[in-house]
Amino acid sequence: MTSLTQWRRTATTAVLSATLVVGGIAGVASPAAAADNPYQRGPDPSRSSIQAARGSFAVSQTSVSRYGVSGFGGGTVYYPTDQSQGRFGAVVVIPGYTARQSSMAWLGPRIASQGFVVFTIDTNSVYDQPSSRGDQLLAAADYLTQRSAVAGRIDATRVAVVGHSMGGGGTLEAAKDRPSLKAAIPLTPWNVDKTWPEVTTPTLVIGAQNDSVASVATHAKPFYQTLPASTPRTYLELRGASHFAPNTSNTTIAENSIAWLKRFVDDDTRYTQFLCPTPSGSALSAAASSCPF
């Protein structure tokens, strides 16, 4: 854990201790505050609920042919079947270099079952570079929210992007080009561009300690460190993990991604408790954060 993280943890604890009020603790939504949030979906969360393989929402899926869309290579949409709670935020997920949507498919139902519409996409070419992948994320987001069969279930103002490797680099490209995105999650990201002072979208960067493809020293860490101080941001490093950790079911990736999406796409402060203080534990070899958000 970095000394910066330890300092932030101490500061956060002090702030929370000093702001105890009737009805709750700062950073944790009181019943009244939760009721005032029109984007809140699902029951009160717990550590076990965000770590679970499935959340509280039943999920269906539908395929999107690459021949019926433009700007990206089609994909699979996972969506909650419940329409009683209003529209949901959307999440577009893109794979890495030479990979297809199947490499990220595990994230689709896992995130959707927490109350999101999730679109895992294929790229135009498996060799597309990060800048192209960023454009494809945005094209897929526009299709999903405007023309897809589930567009009516989605709040088009609340969209996030997630990507692996060159797709992770693409999430930063997308966030730079479209600041209205609510969240970005680059997973073991790769990009020739190492600095991201233009990104104002809340960004969770997840690197892997033993990544020999996109070393954290030359990719994930500088990506995180060059985000503006005003941008909500967190860096997590998976202990002992390789570049391909995001390609199989991973509880650490899932629980932190879910908390991040809930906090910034749904503006659901019930999930702040999982992000601040900065996450720690045996699954992580390093962590840093700008919390309190």
Rounded to whole angstroms, how far apart are CA atoms 138 and 203? 16
Residue 45 lies in a domain: no
Contact 165, 214 (CB under 8 A): yes
Percent residues over pLDDT 90 in the chain: 87
For residue 54, what pLDDT is reported? 98
Residue 245 lies in a domain: yes
Rounded to whole angstroms, how far apart are CA atoms 270 and 70? 38
Taking only the tens place, the pLDDT of each residue in 74-102 is 999 999 999 999 999 999 999 999 999 99
Domain harbouring 157, CATH code? 3.40.50.1820
For residue 293, what pLDDT is reported? 86
Joined tokens for residue 250? 């991973």
Residue 236 lies in a domain: yes
Residue 35 lies in a domain: no
Taking only the tens place, the pLDDT of each residue in 130-187 is 999 999 999 999 999 999 999 999 999 999 999 999 999 999 999 999 999 999 999 9
Nearest CA to 94 out of 117, 112, 70, 121 is that of: 121
Percent residues over pLDDT 70 in the chain: 88
The arithmetic mean of pLDDT across residues 271-276, rounded, is 98
Q: What is the mean pLDDT of the chain?
A: 90
The arithmetic mean of pLDDT across residues 253-259, rounded, is 98
Joined tokens for residue 277? 């203080």
Catalytic residue IDs? 165, 211, 243
Provide the residue range defining the domain that includes 282. Answer: 60-289
Residue 120 lies in a domain: yes
For residue 35, what pLDDT is reported? 53
Nearest CA to 15 out of 3, 28, 2, 26 is that of: 26
Q: Please report the DSSP string for 50-87 in residue order.
A: HHSSS-SS-EEEEEE-GGG-SSS--EEEEEES--TT--
The DSSP element (H or E) to which 15 belongs, if any, is helix 3-18
For residue 170, give every residue at least 6 positions away whose Cβ sits within 8 Å of its Cβ, in sequence order, or none.
94, 130, 131, 132, 133, 134, 136, 137, 161, 163
The domain tally of the chain equals 1
Output the pTM of the full model: 0.88
The arithmetic mean of pLDDT across residues 261-279, rounded, is 98
Joined tokens for residue 180? 């209205």
For residue 189, what pLDDT is reported? 99
Residue 240 lies in a domain: yes
Residues linked to residue 159 through DSSP beta bridges, in sequence order: 90
